[in-house]
Structure 1
């Protein structure tokens, strides 16, 4: 029977769903941004749908009787924000009705849904036990059923519904399977998803009863484990030397994990072997790799370094070339009989990923899905235990979904179609169950308050920005949207807001011209290099500045607007073998010249007064300063650093110590080189943030950060037969 408001956690009305527990509003499964205070107003109106809620009741509910605020203005603003989010209007209301001098009433029909109770039924647990045949699906297996207007499976129910609608309307070649019955395994929302810009392909693993995965905790990635039966995550105990663990693979017998220790900005890192139960491990000291797996015999290691695969003993000795490849290999996975190896190849120049196959001896290299998609974005595949199916992820048009390639078939079939971003599918050790990451990242732009010494919401106009820059006259701001990496600009008060770029272009960073009339930015299209563009602040005259077959990065203006300083992308973003340096582009002649002494430096930033150019070492552990008057470099700071930003008076350089646990933001004085702590992760007192990205400085030089509040969970489904 339908739930009542007393035991409801979600309320549905029209195409909308309000989660009263998490404070999230969704339309047709897609999250709609609504700030905390307007959501509280909406909550009270929903709880008393059909009734008039007086202004006095709303005041008491929001602020209490002892708080003095501009009540009428604040309440009116909150109601307007709710109407904007719902597409409603005061003149012709569909949801919220205004009653003059009385209050407000929610007038649309509402239905209630109990809090989702995700569990793994006995049939699923049996299906996962090692050494047992796949169990037949029984009535105890998770199923998602509709009753009146109530979905008993929460988000999983929404996923299943959308999948069913998708399969009813479209076919993607081959036999169309039934929609997946998706269940959630973990519920922390802390799983570390991939980062397309840094070409980070996350991996998970299972030993049959547990699943192992990367998880965010206090600004750092840790390796965690969870029993599949209950989904409760706990940290895996690792040797103290492993500061930043990244999972590579699990041994064939399920007893050991291969881990990369990602302690620097270098592409190749040390490898460790640790027991799946945690504890003491052993470093493979002679190997530097960016990914690894076991050979089918369980006695040797296959590791990836550069554009090649190498075979070695488990202690790293006796390394021999296994295969030379036309790209950087990741996600090496053997067929169950050990006769075939399938890998993901990354083209670091064009930032594409494709699936390839080799024989057991490293020969007969061929693409798995030639000409299936362009540009390629397929990666991270796993075989089913019987070797008949291969599940992988593919990303297009800003969405990442799971696909399956059946044995003796050339065309994959699509398994998912949103609403999450699906990544890193792995298969159970028996049966046809898969596990995967489902990402739905929730972030918020925060501003550091020197008065309270904490981060507070920046404002209503830029809640989902992940990088912000202000014009030098303080009149304008530009930002990058978290949703699709598009570039926007507006007045600093949020008015005159326009979008400057859209899909398929992805923008990474930008800077205003000295006269505030143009913006220079770093962007790419799918399958192409990072390039430097300029666009007029009114949205016209978009042009590439220096078309070339190399990645360009981090553009910034000279103070007189005649030159652009730029660098190259670091190895983590591509072109690991190419030389790096800082360049000056003359906008009048179109010629670029290397800045003397800038080899192995990147991320240049020109000081507003024109005196200095700051840059980082490729290892991201030194901040260098170029004096344009003396034409010489000097060391400004020696510590981990990322995302440098100049203060508006050119006296200070701010940067983010990304590898430190506290993720501290420092500023260093240009005159004497002394560093000061400005803010850190612990200053996000009001929010349970997992980590943050340094997003820039406001006009008063207060740091802005894009804080991630939740990221992803592990989900499971049984493959169709």
Structure 2
């Protein structure tokens, strides 16, 4: 009898070997395991080497038709993760070739690997057993007739049990119900005490944000109240915590005056100012808050008592069911949403449950109160001992808003992107010069022909990526992993921050031929903004040392030294961009904790206060004569750009930054300009959300 052939289980290509059964990928003696979607993608491509596998074919192979997922974004993520595992690149592929807007092709030779003898033996043993069984069939034939009735009854029982199990498990599958249908952004959503009514804040169809109410049995949402009101939390007693006259800060966060308001209606009672988040104690009597004050975020409970404070920012505070812990998201750098899931007790003892997430949006306590659920590229649960499990894989960006007492979950699917716009003297209108899906501009060359930017979200990969792109729209060049900070005056070097094991690392990257160089960090843990001096050798940057507030430092890239330039509490214009040094290289600008704009002498001879700015006012560029500074106001779309005179403090309108389609646009997050203002670029953040009620998650 011939041995039946089995399809190859293992393939070798280049220096890699993949086991299609276990997902184990090995290279030069090192082994790793591919996650589900990258493995399925690799199998689909390796099965058809040299052939185009269309995006539609891959979508059908990787996801069921009823899967809750943004297929295009999720496929891009799977491709990026597979390329990262294979150390491959889209620009110079060795294994996976991209055919734009069509699909992918596996271009390497994939050679089947013959399994070891031990892996073949089960097939041979099965054959031997079959042969022995044939010689003994006559002996068993008599006994088999007596067993038919028993076997039939047993089979019927098994079949009935199988159908019962199938019905049971079918009822436990996640069930999704879409609650919102307009085009725009969902900022926050909460269950009312009845567990069926949902209140949420959203901005639909290009209009200003407002509060809405919805019930699952009625898909139509109704406006709730009027004016600038933002929902934060709802107590078990039916009282809301809301923000009045709030101002948008970043991502889903607003800042305003905290007020208590009855869910049944009535005038709100103001409680505290400069609040960004709040949650009720389990008994519904008191509130814990997050307050932004003098450049720092802090958790207060009771209001006025600080439990935790950070130079970064805090979001999504939630009281535990027992009321002895507050869970929250701890973000290191404002307004980057990377960060950690943490808890703090009522004595101010804080600990991290899970950290190192590229993007984390929303958390809530599980129904039993033993886990904290949180959302990144999937929905996860973490115990207080730090054990993590996956609750739901969606393949797209999601935000966890709330979990009801019965276990129903409010999730929004968020199609997030950051667009980069460019205006040059020869262009009649601004044009989109984004590269992937999250292009954050941080530098522009003196002649306006080069743009330095970071790619974030999934397109940038873990830790983000630094790119350079010509203004003519030719393909961008990836310089390194990390976040871009600033471009040298001659355009030959880029400064970048790269995440290391104990904090950020400062690197300078050649934009042409040359060797990247890591600079000493001198104890600096985080880098926020940077600019080069005209000599193209020294870098001025805003940074933070452990236990200290941010300030400015000057470092010589050729080993000439390092010194602090400003007092603690003076910081960079923004985390994203900043042309901070004057054209002659003699001065820099900064803001202090009182939101005053200052200029400081680079030679260390002192500083001078210029004027007071709002907390959302972001200075980003000097005028060519060094007599004025440009600034714009974050949180407003369109954003108006002004020049402020260093002599008189007078402000003069320059221009308005307005994306053509403002629906879902949260903010203008970065602006850069050439010294003469003839070319400028900016990035804006767009979120398009759909809110879902999800049942049967465990």
CA contact (8 A) 2:55 2:103 kept: no
Q: What is the match of residue 592 of structure 2?
A: 617
1:372-408 deviation per Cα after TM superposition (whole angstroms, max 9, x unaligned): 77679888543455x277451154xxxx3212469x9
Distance 2:610 2:348 in 1: 50
CA RMSD between the two structures: 4.9
1:213 paired residue among 200, 205, 225: 200
What are the superposed Cα offsets for residues 396-453 of structure 1, whole Å, 9 maximum, x if unpaired?
xxxx3212469x9985531222322122241124x33111232211443234589999
Residue 715 (str. 1) matches residue 692 (str. 2): yes
Q: Counterparts in 2 of 1:171-320, with a 5 A limit?
A: 180-191=174-185, 204-207=190-193, 208-216=195-203, 222-229=209-216, 230-233=218-221, 236-237=224-225, 245=230, 247-259=231-243, 270-276=257-263, 280-285=267-272, 291-303=277-289, 311-312=301-302
Q: How far apart in 1 are the matches of 2:581 and 2:236?
A: 52
Q: 2:468 aligns with which of 481, 489, 492?
A: 489
1:667 aligns to what?
643
The CA deviation string for residues 571-590 of structure 1, in whole angstroms up to 9 with x for no partner, is xxx98x73343222233445
- 1:93-108 correspondence runs (5 A): none
Distance 1:702 1:580 in 2: 31
User: What is the rounded CA distance, in whole Å, between the counterparts of 2:692 and 2:679 in structure 1?
Assistant: 39
Corresponding residue of 1:501:
480
CA deviation vs aligned residue, 1:156-214 (integer Å, no higher than 9, x gap): xxxxxxxxxxxxxxxxxxx9996533333223343356xxxxxxxx6745443432334
Cα displacement string for residues 499-558 of structure 1 (whole angstroms, at most 9, x for unaligned residues): 1123xx3x1x42222332211134435x75444321121373241442425323211111
Q: In the alignment, which of 446, 452, 472 is matched to residue 478 of structure 1?
A: 452
1:128 aligned residue: none
Shift in CA distance, 553/491, structure 1 to aligned 2, threshold 3 Å: same
Between Structure 1 and Structure 2, which shows a larger proportion of helix residues? 2
Out of 644, 649, 656, which is 2:632 matched to?
Answer: 656
In 2, are the aligned partners of 1:249 and 1:259 still within 8 Å (CA)?
Answer: no
The equivalent of 1:458 in structure 2 is: 432
What is the match of residue 486 of structure 2?
511
Residue equivalent to 2:100: 84
**Distance 1:705-1:462 versus aligned 2 partners, 3 A rule:** farther
Secondary structure of 1:299's partner?
coil
Name 2:364's counterpart in structure 1. Answer: 382
Change (3 A) 1:237 1:661: farther
Alignment match of 1:567 (pick from 539, 542, 549)? 542
- The verdict on how the C-alpha distance between 1:611 and 1:13 changes in structure 2, with shifts beyond 3 A counting, is same
Whole-angstrom distance in 1 between the partners of 2:305 and 2:584: 54
Query: Unpaired segments of 5 or more residues in structure 1?
Result: 1-10, 18-23, 33-81, 90-174, 194-201
Between the aligned partners of 1:689 and 1:334, the Cα distance in structure 2 is 30
Q: Specify the SS of the correspondent of 2:639.
A: coil
**Cα deviation per residue 1:226-251 (whole Å; 9 max; x = unaligned)?**
303345555543676x6xx4x43211
Aligned residues: 526
Q: Give the gaps of 5 or more residues in structure 2.
A: 1-53, 61-68, 78-97, 106-168
2: CA distance, partners of 1:449 / 1:625: 29
Residue 122 of structure 1 is matched in structure 2 by none
Note closer, same or farther for the CA distance 1:468–1:557 as it changes in structure 2 (3 Å cut). closer
Name whichever of 669-678 and 558-567 sits farther off.
669-678
CA 1:270 to 1:531, structure 2 compared with 1: closer, same or farther past 3 Å? farther
Match of 1:416 among 392, 405, 411: 392
- Is 2:539 aligned against 1:541? no
Q: 2:561 aligns with which of 576, 585, 591?
A: 591
Q: Which has the larger radius of gyration?
A: 2
1:718–1:619 Cα change, 3 Å: farther
In the alignment, what sits opposite 1:446? 421
Shift of 1:281: 1.3
Give the distance between the partners of 1:582 and 1:720, measured in 2 at CA. 48
Q: Using the TM superposition, give the Cα deviation of residue 616 of structure 1 relative to its aligned residue in structure 2, in angstroms.
A: 2.5
SS at match of 1:14: helix
Q: Secondary structure, in 3 states, of the residue corresponding to 2:489?
A: coil
- Equivalent position of 2:499 in the other structure: 524
- Give the secondary structure class of the aligned counterpart of 1:654: strand
Change (3 A) 1:267 1:422: closer
Cα distance between partner residues in 2 of 1:257 and 1:380: 17
Distance in 1, Cα, partners of 2:507 & 2:206 = 32
Q: Identify the residue that residue 134 of structure 2 maps to in structure 1.
A: none
**Superposition pairs of residues 324-473 of structure 1, within 5 angstroms:** 331-334=316-319, 338=322, 341-344=325-328, 346=330, 348=332, 352-356=339-343, 362=346, 380-385=362-367, 387=368, 390=371, 392-393=373-374, 395=376, 400-404=377-381, 411-429=387-405, 431-447=406-422, 456-459=430-433, 464-473=438-447
CA distance in 2, matches of 1:473, 1:654: 18
Which residue in the other structure is 2:115 paired with?
Answer: none
Distance between the aligned counterparts of 2:439 and 2:348, measured in 1? Answer: 46
Give the C-alpha shift of residue 673 in structure 1. Answer: 4.8
Q: TM (normalized to structure 2)?
A: 0.62
Higher strand share: 2
Rounded to whole Å, the distance in 2 between the matches of 1:181 and 1:559 is 60
Contact residue 189 and residue 710 of structure 1 kept, 8 A: no
Cα distance in 2, alignment partners of residues 627 and 225 from structure 1 = 51
